[in-house]
Amino acid sequence: MNNLKHLLTSLPAVLMALLPQLFCPACWPAYTSILSLFGIGFVNYSPFLLPITILFLGISLMGIFYKAKTRQGYYPFFLAIVASTIILIGKFAVEIPSALYIGIFLLLTASIWNVWPQKNSACASESNCCP
């Protein structure tokens, strides 16, 4: 009886110690292999893939659109729209992996272009503000 009481009082501490590992994405393959060992398969995620992809592409488009006037203008945003369209068509409409990779590359290019430092034209004319 004393051992059971000791076990029950230490159980929350053991669960709290396991909590970070339960939410660690690097540990998920280990969990899936352990659960598949017992015959428990994971949920089919394919019905949720299109809405989640649209959601994350929308978030990235909003991030590029945010302060577009003060950064590189709207050209990176337009490139990101083209890239997002290529990603959606390449993944869900025609299922061409090369189109998907081209879209990902273009979206990455648009993101880098959006945050690239812009030369200040006022600074170029004055010799005292540029190092």
State residue 83's pLDDT score.
96
**Three-class secondary structure assignment of 54-119:** HHHHHHHHHHHHCCCCCCCCCHHHHHHHHHHHHHHHHHHHCCCHHHHHHHHHHHHHHHHHHHCCCC
Maximum pairwise Cα distance, the chain: 85
Residue 54 is predicted with a pLDDT of: 94
Which has the closest alpha carbon to 65: 52, 54, 78, 82? 78
pLDDT given for residue 56 in this prediction: 92
pLDDT of residue 9: 64
This prediction's pTM: 0.61
- Identify the burial level of 87 via C-beta atoms within 10 angstroms of its C-beta, where 0-12 means exposed, 13-18 middle and 19 or more buried: buried
Every domain of the chain and the residues it spans:
2-37, 46-117
The pLDDT of residue 29: 75
Q: What's the confidence (pLDDT) of residue 58?
A: 94
Query: Which pLDDT score is estimated for 1?
Result: 59
pLDDT at position 15 is 59
Residue ranges for the chain with pLDDT beneath 70? 1-28, 31, 34-35, 38-45, 120-131
